[in-house]
Amino acid sequence: MMRTIILTTTLVFFLTHIFGQHAKLKISPLTGDFYIYTTYNTYQESQVPANGMYLVTNDGVVMFDTPWDTTQFQPLLDSIRSKHNKNVIMCFATHWHSDKTAGLEYYRQQGIKTYTTVLTDELSKKNDKKRAEFLMTKDTVFHTGQYAFETYYPGQGHTVDNIIIWFEKEKILYGGCLIKGADDDNLGYTDDGNVIEYASTLKKVQKKCRQPQFIIIAHNDWKNTHSLKHSLKMAKELKKKNNG
């Protein structure tokens, strides 16, 4: 009886420890070969989720943004390898804040090709953030395996350098921190951005990315495609408020 209790207690402790670790990293299927990964970090005394995305191609896995939680850089790679039997070969960061760039140096050291825009690199250097190995000087279409996607800079908003990733064929818009959740009541932290230009930037995204089937955002529910329209509404209100 005592042995059974000890074994049960040990098992509960082991499972709690294992699942507690995995709770730091959540991977959710999006559609087809697309997956959303979520890590967490503390911001203003609250645990905040940060969503990234990865795409499984015939040539390897492409990651969009890095984990915010520095303890999850390798666990994410391990999970992808275990789940898909493929390695990550490319990683793109969509602006210079740490919730997007924290893992760039680590992944470069693992032999993964890391990318940002030149503007993001300048801001990363200025603010002592991690930097990418390869720099994009303009909007660029990448072909990896059977997929194609475009990096697009629509203008200043959340930050002055924020880009989005657009999958034209699949109609997937990866918006990062530029687009807020459909349930959010504000545009969040904008001190490094431009509240006057924010609305026009989002309008350019709407024009570029027609009828997206999925809109992936950084810190809220990515399943609600009203996020872009709602963000534009908030940006218009913020511009009006700041114009007096």
Rounded to the nearest 5 degrees, what angle is found at the Cα of 64, between the Cα atoms of 58 and 70? 120
Check residue 5 and give its pLDDT: 41
Q: Which fold has domain 27-242?
A: Metallo-beta-lactamase; Chain A (3.60.15)
Instruction: State residue 204's pLDDT score.
Output: 98
pLDDT of residue 2: 43
Residue 104: its H or E element: helix 104-109
Domain borders along the chain are: 27-242
Q: Are 223 and 233 in contact (CB under 8 A)?
A: no
CA-based nearest residue to 23, from 47, 39, 35: 39
**pTM above the 0.85 mark?**
yes
Token pair belonging to 28? 């959710």
The edge-to-edge listing of strands for the beta sheet with 25-31 is 25-31, 34-43, 46-57, 60-64, 88-92, 113-117, 134-136
CB 151 within 8 A of CB 132: no
Question: What is the C-alpha separation between 151 and 63, in angstroms, rounded?
Answer: 13
| Tokens 């697009």 found at | 152
pLDDT tens digit at each of 244 positions of the chain: 444 444 443 443 333 333 334 479 999 999 999 999 999 987 767 788 999 999 999 999 999 999 999 999 999 999 999 999 999 999 999 999 999 999 999 999 999 999 999 999 999 999 999 999 999 999 999 999 999 999 999 999 999 999 999 999 999 999 999 999 999 999 999 999 999 999 999 999 999 999 999 999 999 889 899 999 999 999 999 999 988 5
227-242 and 198-208 are packed helices; what angle lies between their axes, rounded to 10 degrees?
150
Q: State how far the Cα of 6 lies from the Cα of 166, in Å rounded to an integer.
A: 54
Q: From residue 33, how far is each of 90, 128, 172 by CA, in Å? A: 15, 34, 12
